[in-house]
A and B are shown apart, each in its own frame.
Chain A
């Protein structure tokens, strides 16, 4: 990993939820562990990110404000299956993070 400076930035966190908390419309009493990426990505910034930052500050890019490094999953957790209240099975894919992009 990056090696320079503190790695307090983008990390994997987890929370224990009901499947209904996900807001995907399922009616079930089953539960899951949801893992997500959270935190700033300052440590992973490249020259590209620094230049974008400087150009935005110096107003050299007119109205554009391009996206900077952002804390996102680089791999997803295994699929999750559950039985709903009508005794139908559902399987969620790519719903929960496994790794974050803290490497440079």
Chain B
């Protein structure tokens, strides 16, 4: 069979709609994330974020991660990767009229207790460690993916960048950082260039880390 024709992200969406729980919570966030509320606002971002958090809270990882962390062949720059980028309905949950500075976004995250604790989890569980085989300080991909997906629905909502390799970022950049340029770049690189997070996403997408998701079969 033609392996290149397989679209894992499409297959994950099909599997979701054939599962009552996944289907219900998927449409429960897509509705608010795609409903225009006024001529000025494409959606109610607060409701969209809340429904996205519910989706990742209630739907088993097999289905929710299946869509968020689906693997696409490196050659694919459209059908599969674009669908993966669209998982969180970025036009509502991610993009904004202006791109804030990442450090000011981090400061506004810290004023919200959900965002503050989830960002701390993410920094703890996806800490890279070049000397370890997994690429992670805490060698637990499941915890890293859980804390990454936990950021979705906060002001730190991350998404895939249009890049030939897997790279993610919240909606912010390091312009206007002044004296804190270095600190800002360290912050963004934890998202965009993090081998622990990248390995965790790839391992899930390739199904090479199944042991973590399901109890290992008896020997």
* Chain A interface residues (CB < 8 Å from chain B): 16, 29-33, 78-83, 87, 89, 91
Partner of B30, one of A31, A32, A87, A89: A89
- Closest B residue to A33 by beta carbon equals B18
| B30:A30 contact, CB within 8 angstroms | no
Q: List 13 A-B contacts (CB under 8 A).
A: A29-B14, A30-B10, A30-B13, A31-B18, A32-B17, A78-B23, A79-B28, A80-B27, A87-B86, A89-B33, A89-B86, A91-B30, A91-B34
| B26:A87 contact, CB within 8 angstroms | no
Our count of residue pairs bridging A and B at CB distance below 8 angstroms stands at 48
- How many angstroms from the CA of A76 to the CA of B23 in the assembled complex? 14
Partner of A29, one of B10, B23, B27: B10
- How many angstroms from the CA of A47 to the CA of B163 in the assembled complex? 69
Number of interface residues, chain B, beta carbon within 8 A: 20
Q: Which residues of B contact A79 (CB under 8 A)?
A: 24, 27-28, 31
- B4-37 interface code vs A (CB 8 A; 1 in, 0 out): 0001001001100110100110111011011000
Q: Which residues of A contact B10 (CB under 8 A)?
A: 29-30
| Interfacial residues of chain B within 50-84, with CB under 8 A of chain A in the complex | 82-83
| B26:A81 contact, CB within 8 angstroms | yes
Partner of B14, one of A30, A78, A81, A87: A30
Q: Which residues of B contact A33 (CB under 8 A)?
A: 17-18
| A31:B31 contact, CB within 8 angstroms | no
The 5 closest A-B pairs by CB, nearest first: A81-B30, A81-B27, A79-B27, A78-B24, A31-B14
- Closest A residue to B9 by beta carbon equals A83
| B17:A78 contact, CB within 8 angstroms | no
- How many angstroms from the CA of A33 to the CA of B10 in the assembled complex? 16
- How many angstroms from the CA of A32 to the CA of B24 in the assembled complex? 12
| A83:B18 contact, CB within 8 angstroms | no
| B13:A83 contact, CB within 8 angstroms | yes
- How many angstroms from the CA of A30 to the CA of B33 in the assembled complex? 19
| B17:A80 contact, CB within 8 angstroms | yes
- How many angstroms from the CA of A33 to the CA of B20 in the assembled complex? 9
Q: Which residues of B contact A89 (CB under 8 A)?
A: 30, 33-34, 86, 89
- How many angstroms from the CA of A32 to the CA of B7 in the assembled complex? 17
- How many angstroms from the CA of A36 to the CA of B170 in the assembled complex? 43
- B69-112 interface code vs A (CB 8 A; 1 in, 0 out): 00000000000001100100100000000000000000000000
CB distance from B73 to the nearest CB of A (A): 17
Q: Which residues of A contact B20 (CB under 8 A)?
A: 78
| A78:B83 contact, CB within 8 angstroms | no
CB distance from A5 to the nearest CB of B (A): 32
Partner of B27, one of A16, A31, A87, A91: A91
Partner of A83, one of B24, B31, B86: B86
| Other A-B pairs beyond A31-B17, A81-B27, 11, CB < 8 Å | A78-B24, A79-B27, A79-B31, A80-B27, A81-B26, A81-B30, A82-B17, A83-B86, A87-B83, A89-B86, A91-B31
CB distance from B187 to the nearest CB of A (A): 30
| A30:B17 contact, CB within 8 angstroms | yes
